[in-house]
Structure 1
């Protein structure tokens, strides 16, 4: 049970001890989400022939899950989450959709800063953080 009187964690932007999750955990989450997207896209397209289908599902998955829950299923399994850089809250549906579109371009995710924030994170004011323990 969460202690309601415990101080709220500092937002990543102002936390001098902020440590981003490893690239392995982030990549693991992406692989899990990609497999789920491949499976889901089979309901309306052939993911081998129609390469756009799993990418579309991935973008929509990111918009829905990150916008509302701060975690995709892959992030939940690997115990990471995506929150707003400035206040640590959810990024919302519009920013999550933009983040998913930028992630689908791949290159923005490869250009990272010292906090492992890719261009897709910086442009949407988001950051991937370790998920708090339940």
Structure 2
């Protein structure tokens, strides 16, 4: 019995097609609503604008670092993987990615593979998740 072939990392896959911006935005909306709900336990998200942003950074660090998906990414069937090898990016890089994403501007400047500055700096890419 032979093992299934290893998946091709996104950096080496000429057929790589990034998910649509709509799916990425949908994931962000789901995650943001969750962050507003969670931050409501320890701060007033309307008055303390830092609270949901802090929760978003921690959420990205935990979920992307350990599972390669946030809850919003799970719902929209996308995931965040390492660009070079297609594995998980780990908690430290996921925290940095979340911090950069919280700055907003890095996410708006994308290359042809829809990798924002935050993705390029941490060596990640958003891909479609298998069903």
Q: Aligned residues, how many?
A: 130
Q: What are the Cα deviations for residues 14-38 of structure 1, in whole angstroms up to 9, with x where unaligned?
A: 0000000000000000000000000
Aligned-residue CA RMSD in angstroms? 0.8
Matches within 5 A, 1:4-15: 5-15=3-13
Q: Distance in 2 between matches of 1:130 and 1:124?
A: 19
Normalised to the residue count of structure 2, the TM-score between the two structures is 0.98
Give the SS at the match of 2:28. Answer: helix
> In the TM superposition, what whole-angstrom CA distance separates every residue of 1:37-96 from its partner, at most 9, and x where no partner exists?
000000000000000000000000000000000000000000000000000000000000
Structure 1 stretches of 4+ moved >6 Å? none
Matches within 5 A, 1:68-79: 68-79=66-77
Q: Distance in 1 between matches of 2:5 and 2:55?
A: 37
* Separation of aligned partners in 2, 1:69 and 1:62: 10
Give the Cα separation in 1 of the matches to 2:21 and 2:7: 23
Once the two structures are TM-superposed, the CA of residue 105 in structure 1 deviates from its matched residue by 0.1
Q: Following the alignment from structure 1 to structure 2, what is the Cα–Cα distance between the partners of residues 73 and 7?
A: 28
Matched, 1:120 2:118: yes
Name the CA distance, whole Å, in 1 between partners of 2:93 and 2:101. Answer: 12
The residue matched to 1:87 in structure 2 has which SS? coil
5+ residue gaps in structure 2? none
**After superposition, where does 1:1-134 map in structure 2 within 5 Å?**
5-133=3-131
Superposition TM-score, scaled by structure 1 size: 0.96
Q: 1:9 Cα deviation (Å)?
A: 1.3
